[in-house]
Amino acid sequence: MTAATLVILGASGDLTKRLLMPALYRLHALGLTPDLRIVGYAMEPWSRAHFEQHIHEALQAFAMDFKPAQWNRFRRQLDYVGGELKADQLVALKGKLSPATMFYLALPPPLFGVAATALGEAGFSESPRGGWRRLVVEKPFGTDLASAEALRGQMHTYWEEEQILRIDHFLGKETTQNLMVFRFANRFLEPIWNAQNIAQVQITYAETLGVEQRAAYYDKAGALRDMLQNHLMQLFSLTAMEPPSSWDAEVLRDHKVEVLRSVTPITAKTINKHAVRGQYRAGKLGRKKMIGYRNEPGVKRGSDTETFAALRLEVDNWRWRGVPFYLRSGKRLASNYSEIAVQFREVPGPIPHAVHAGNNWMIFRIRPVERMDLLVTAKQPGVKLAGRPVTLTAPYATPNDREFSAYEQLLVDALGGDRSNFLRFDEVEWAWRVLSPVLRAWEKGAPNFYPAGSEGPDTQARLLDLGHDWRPIALDGDG
């Protein structure tokens, strides 16, 4: 990697402390960013030494493997400038930039546009000869289609689309990237990855976490905006996309957008067949009593924000017509359980005695462990020709593998200029287009309650085709 500078705007904030710095520290420790200079920028009039101290404490708390000797090397990469998000103050950064410079907006969403403009006004968006300028920004990208388009307009005043790297941290997860490798590097899969052979797909991201300290943001966002519009839509497009002709970032993203464009539009009339929302009320997680969402600190009294959302999407193309894709995510559910589960259709011929039909599933497990399971039927030992379910399991990583966190992965990609794992604006746009009718419908009415620690609202069953069941989320990993 060439010598580069990373400027973090919002360097005194939570994202910097909890996620960015620990990732940068590890990359440095692994020798992957030896020449990277990291300049923090925030409102606080801190000295460089004060910033160092702040990061030192953050790393002690959040870095995976903190070592004083390593810290002493890492700290030399750090620098700090205090100021507001105004061009005449940002210019103080000028002497600290290198030809290759990336600006990371670790800021609250309302400041994304403001910061992008101020950086442009300061002259920082123009790539110098032989170098580059990039801008990294993380979801949420607007709160609906109109606000996403407005934000895009604001960002494009000074920045080209190719310079903007939109982060969806799920694209940095190993399991997500494995979807592409597994689907397209194994010959046996592609001929059966279609409606003739697949009956349904379920994508679940279940969390035991509640709203925590984030009510100010979450109560306005809700599960559909927070998880489905971005993370689950990405998992969905990677599961359903056509094989790309090359691993070029533009080709890959073209194919993902194509999936979103092929989704049968949800309408006001069909909404109940396609979307369900829920909100947790008081309940129990294990033995621990949990309060209901409406009683969480910072949540508006009588709030109708959904903490659970489930969708049924249909992809109207040759490959997928007739296969429901069920997506769901929720807070305060029974366990931290996440997977992409693909069920194959039943065999057309007679099956041996005592074989349970319809039990072929390919499961990409994300949590609690990352691994792949293929659920099949094999002979039950004994004198009878009978079958029983067997799971072929492939652990995702071996003890010798070096794994990277999503932020480590994405920072390496961003600094290396690989845009494959970042969202192009049309991906954001089409995800909003698919969901706009749901957002509109949910402006009225109320979510269905579910007890904290449960599987979500019972009403989610109405999205399913006859013969389909939601897979349980409270499994210990073997179901």
Positions marked catalytic: 231
With CB under 6 A as the rule, give the number of residues binding ligand BG6. Answer: 3
Residue 155's φ and ψ, nearest 5 degrees, are -70, -35
**From the CB of 207, what's the least distance to ligand BG6, in Å?**
6
- Shortest gap between Cβ of 383 and ligand BG6 (angstroms)? 48
SS3 90: helix
Q: Rounded to the nearest whole angstrom, what is the least distance from the CB of residue 226 to ligand BG6 in the complex?
A: 5
- Chain residue at closest Cβ approach to ligand BG6: 226
Q: What is the largest CA-CA distance in the chain?
A: 84
Angle at CA 19, nearest 5°, toward 16 and 22? Answer: 95
User: Nearer to ligand BG6 by C-beta: 226 or 373?
Assistant: 226
In contact, 340 and 239? CB cutoff 8 Å: yes
Q: Which residues are CB-contacts of 479 (< 8 A; sequence separation ≥ 6)?
A: 471, 472
Q: In terms of residues, how long is the chain?
A: 479
Q: According to the binding rule CB under 6 A, does residue 306 interact with ligand BG6?
A: no
Half-sphere exposure in the Cβ direction for 207 (13 Å, CA):
14
CB of 356 to ligand BG6, least distance (A): 33
Among residues 209 and 251, whose Cβ is nearest to ligand BG6? 209
**Closer Cβ to ligand BG6, 33 or 338, answer by number:** 338
Minimum distance from residue 135 beta carbon to ligand BG6 (Å):
20
Nearer to ligand BG6, 77 or 234 (CB): 234
Contacts with ligand BG6 in 191-220 (CB under 6 A)? 207, 209
In the complex with ligand BG6, the residue whose CB is nearer, 46 or 205, is: 205
Structure tokens at 378: 């094999």
Residue type, position 372, single letter:
M
Q: Smaller CB distance to ligand BG6: residue 52 or 207?
A: 207
- Count of C-beta atoms within a 10 Å radius of residue 375: 19
Q: Please report where in the chains the tokens 């003890």 appear, as a residue.
A: 399
Sign (positive or negative) of CA dihedral 346, 351, 357, 360: negative
| Strand, coil or helix: 280 | strand
Interface residue with ligand BG6 among 219, 226, 314, 427 (CB under 6 A) is 226
52 binds ligand BG6 per the rule CB under 6 A: no
- Residues with Cβ within 8 Å of 309's Cβ and at least 6 positions away in sequence, in order, are 222, 223, 224, 227, 228, 275, 276, 277, 278, 328, 329, 330
- Rounded to the nearest whole angstrom, what is the least distance from the CB of residue 462 to ligand BG6 in the complex? 25
**Smallest separation (angstroms) from ligand BG6 to the CB of 230:** 7
Q: How far, CA to CA in Å, does 144 sit from each of 198, 225, 422, 440?
A: 32, 8, 19, 10
Alpha helices per DSSP H over 312-456: 406-416, 425-441
Binding of ligand BG6 by 408 (CB under 6 A): no
The residue (of 97 and 228) whose beta carbon lies closer to ligand BG6 is 228
Nearer to ligand BG6, 230 or 377 (CB): 230
* Residue of 323, 321, 324, 322 whose CA lies nearest to 312: 324
- DSSP states along 18-82: IIIHHHHHHHHHTTS-TTEEEEEEESS---HHHHHHHHHHHHHHH-TT--HHHHHHHGGGEEEEE
- Output the smallest distance, CB 202 to ligand BG6, in A: 18
Which of 183, 201, 193 lies closest to 343, judged by CA? 201
Task: Give the interface with ligand BG6 as residue ranges (CB under 6 A).
Answer: 207, 209, 226
